[in-house]
Structure formats: structure tokens, C-alpha cells
Amino acid sequence: MVTSRVFLPQVSGSVFLPLAVLSVALAGSTLVWAQSQSQSQQQPQAPSSNDAAPDAAGGPGADNGVIALPKKKENPDAAPLPPAPAAPKIKNPEGLNNYSIRVDVPEVDVDVGVLLEKTGQFVPNLKLNNFKVYENGVEQKLVGFKRVEAPITALLLCEFASTNYYFVYDMRNAAWSFAQQLRPQDYVAMMTFDMRTQIVTDFTQDKRQLYNAINSMVIPGFSERNLFDALYEAEDRLSRIEGRKYIVLIASGRDTFSRITLDKIMQKVKNTPDVTIFAVSTGGALRAMTEGGPGFGQQLRDLDYLQADNQMKTFAKMTGGMWFEPRFVGEMPDIFSSINTAIRSKYQLIYHPTDAKQDGTYRKLRVELVDDEGQPLRMQDEKHKPLKYEIIARDGYRARQEVE
């Protein structure tokens, strides 16, 4: 028989606990001992794998038992998280179904070239705040700006008429100089005109086809030069091609009897988007030798050429291109180098017009360069001499016509 020995604490004054308390304590300890003996006899404990014998070499045993993680104490001072917002409840009026609204925001892209007047070099490193764009005299807020330099898609439109050897000679030299400036990724087509137009070669990246087409133009046909008809057809063909396109117009600028009038071809040039014209007048050497000669016929011829130059210059200026009037063959490489630079190196400005009406009206554009203080931008060379520059951009665009 096992005897439980209970020790009673002693209180101050050497006074023992009452007899009732003593009896309760003895009964409780006897009951706890009996329950523990009963459980140990009914469920014998199996040896745990964690209590394996130590290694023969006497090293420490593996420590892979249960790890007790302390419970994270909550911060009583932390602010409670706000409740999630309730989902808005939208109730349509009676008899009205769900519908969506679509708003088209017009966007205008303006390609701007900045070239030095003396050398024709492109002016790099300009920033967004250096440009100001005005539409119908109202300044627009620019929302996009980037430098563009990409392969080109160009149509070489050449006057090939039986008029004078000097004109054909200048045209062939100009076309050859343009072909030499091309890169492997460029797409170029060639079309000639006299009384009617002729597609010499379709768009290709093979420069040899273009060289062969230029060499094939030896014996011209008719002496008529229907410039307006040819330019109208070229604009119409290029309007079916997406992206930015260029027309390199090499001609005298004179028109014989086109069916298209000057007003109609000007309207066509205005309404055709994404087409820039670079015009090169031919016959400069002949004009230099005969200009101002005696006779009424010569005076009329001089006036015709002045009008032709004005037309070529207008076509280029309206589309943001350039016009040249070379008189010597040696000028051709520099001219087409400037054209090549103007085509490939440009700044693209993007804005949402303040006049968002889709009414099909023609909007006049004006681009200015300013410094950080908003004053006209001044450029200097290394010797602090002022440099004149030219801003090349379209003079306007036609807004889309809203379709009802």
C-alpha cells in the first residue's frame, strides 16, 4: 500500500489549518494518484523516434522534434483596419436598359523638321518645351513628342517629255542622285509623265530596278507636260497606302493642258493626308543662259517659268516639304542629301485639338521654336555667331468629316 504524505503550510502564529480542509486535501490527492495509475496501465507509451540512441561516435542526437512557436502578441494601441467600401448600387430608371457611351477624341500628328539654312543639317537635341503649335491661331497643348527616324516610302514622279535636252538631262541626274541616297529598308516606286502618266516600276526595295528604270528613259515621247493630272493621280495612288509617304517631284513645273485645274490640284494636295512633296525644278542651266533675253516670246517664257517655280514651291510648302532650283549638276548630291535628312530625321508632335468638331474644315497650322523662357529660340555656332534655321511642317490639315 502506497501512502501519500501531505505537508501543510505553516501560517503565522504556528496555527494549523482546520480539520475539514485537511480531509479535503487528502481525498483530492488520493483521487489524482488513482487516475494516473489507471491511465498508465491501460495505454502503454510507445518509444518515440526522437528518443533514438545517440550515434556510436558519441555525437549529439538529431533535433527534429516539435517546435513550439510563441503566439504573436497583438498591439492594443494599433488602429483597427477600416471596413471595405460597400459596392455602389446603381438602379436604372424604369424601362431603361443598360447602355455604353463611346467618345472619340481627335488626335493630330505634326511632323516637324528643323534644318540649318546654310548647311541643311538637322538640328538635334530639341525638347518638348521648345515647340509651340498653333491651330487657327490658338495654341495647342502637346501631349506627345518623339524623334522619328525610319525607312521611307517614296514615289519618284519625273517629267519625261520631248521639250529640251537640258530638262531630260537634269531629270536623269536628279533621279540618279536620289537613288544613291536610298537605304536597303526603303520602298520606292517610279512614275513618269508627259501627256499621260506611266508607272515605270512599282514599289520595291531593289535599287537595281530603279537604276534600270532611270537608264531606260532615253527617248521621250510627247512634248506635252500635264503636271496637274500626274500629281493628282500620284496623290490618289499614295492615299491608299497607310503611313507617311513622300513624293519626289522632278519637273519643270509647267503644265500644258491638264484636265485638272490648279484649284483642284491644290485642293487634292490639302485633302490628302500623310503625303509630303519635295520638289526639284529642272532646266536651271538653260534658264540661266536665256533668262532676260530680248523679244516678247522670251519675256512670256520667263513669266511661265516664274509661275512654274511658284507652283512647285507651293506644293512643297503646303505639305511640309522643300523646293530646290538647281542650275548645275554638282548641286544634286547636296540637294538630295538635304532631302534625305529632312525625310528621315524629324520631330513628331501630338496634340488633341481644342476644336474637337469633326466638321471636315481645313485647320491652319503654325509651329514655333522657343527657349526655356518662352522667347524665340536663337542658335549660335562655336564662334557665337547666330545661325538661321528653317522649320519644315505642314501648313494645315483637314479635320475628319463626321458621318451621320
* Biggest CA-to-CA distance, the chain: 156
Output the pLDDT for position 299. Answer: 83
CA 4 distance to own-chain centroid = 95
User: Domains of the chain by range and CATH?
Assistant: 106-149+345-404 (2.60.40), 151-344 (3.40.50.410)
**370 SS3 class:** strand
**pTM beyond cutoff 0.75:** no
Above 60 in pLDDT, residue 56? no
How many beta carbons lie within 10 A of that of residue 192, not counting itself?
A: 25
Which residues are registered as beta bridge partners of 146?
348
What percentage of the chain reaches a pLDDT higher than 70? 76
Instruction: For 130-155, write each residue's pLDDT tens digit.
Output: 999 999 999 999 999 988 877 889 99
Average pLDDT, rounded, for the chain: 80
Distance CA(300)–CA(230), nearest Å, equals 24
Q: What is the pLDDT of residues 221-243, one digit of tens each?
A: 888 899 999 999 999 999 888 88
* Residue in this structure with the C-alpha cell 537640258, named with its chain if needed: 166
pLDDT digits (tens, 9 = 90+) for 37-47: 544 444 444 44
Q: Rounded to an integer, what distance in angstroms lies between the CA atom of residue 166 and that of residue 285? A: 7
Dist CA 395 CA 266 (whole Å): 13
- The grid coordinates of residue 84 equal 471595405
For residue 308, what pLDDT is reported? 93
How far apart, in whole angstroms, are the C-alpha atoms of residue 297 and residue 8? 147
Q: Higher confidence at residue 173 or residue 97?
A: 173
pLDDT of the residue at 74: 58
pLDDT on residue 23: 47
**What is the pLDDT, as a whole number, of residue 101?**
62
The H or E element containing residue 247 is strand 245-251
> Taking a C-beta distance cutoff of 8 angstroms, is the pair 381, 387 a contact?
yes
Chain Cα centroid distance, residue 78: 50
Where do runs of H (alpha helix) occur along 181-226? 207-215
Cell digits for 348? Answer: 513628331
Angle between helices 227-238 and 262-271 (to 10 degrees): 20
The Cα–Cα gap between 171 and 252 comes to: 9
| Contacts (Cβ under 8 Å, ≥6 apart) of 293 | none
